[in-house]
Amino acid sequence: MFREFLQKDLLGIFEKQRVDFSSSLANLGSELGTLFVVIDQDGIKNSFREGENYFSVVGTIEFLEDKTQTSFGFFSQRMALSKYEAKGKFVLLGRESNEAVNSEAGRTLINKSQKFSYRIAIPYNKPLGEIESLTLELETN
């Protein structure tokens, strides 16, 4: 339920082409420019209060980049520079990891990854609108 909101917020903050909910190492080299999100299944918590469904999600965000384009601190820089209003829903956890991996094409890519926490409140049982007419039929025996 929260994935579509998470995807929209990630695209707004990081200004990348796509978000894929799988590991970047499973798509090595085929998806440069895509943010990969791996959700920790034990890190999903939700509760219902006052007409809203509250989610707290922990996961890892990954990004593949060509070795010549890489710089340390990619995720924290993008968060700091972003003017996107929803960035307050995110907290980056720990340090960014930069791991060199070789693609099938023989070039070296950098797999950037960092843990994050995301919190969102989603309304549930939204009003569907007003009743415009009501017809009742009474049966008598």
pLDDT at 131: 82
Indicate the burial class of 13 (C-beta count within 10 angstroms; 0-12, 13-18, 19 or more). buried
Distance CA 96, CA 63 (A): 11
* pLDDT value of residue 126: 61
**What value, to the nearest 5°, has the Cα angle with vertex 35 and ends 117 and 124?**
50
What is the per-residue pLDDT for 70?
Answer: 66
Q: Which residues of the chain have pLDDT under 70?
A: 24-31, 68-70, 103-106, 125-127
The domain made up of 3-123 has a fold known as STM4215-like (3.30.2000)
Domain range annotation of the chain: 3-123
CA dist., res. 109 & res. 101, Å (int): 5
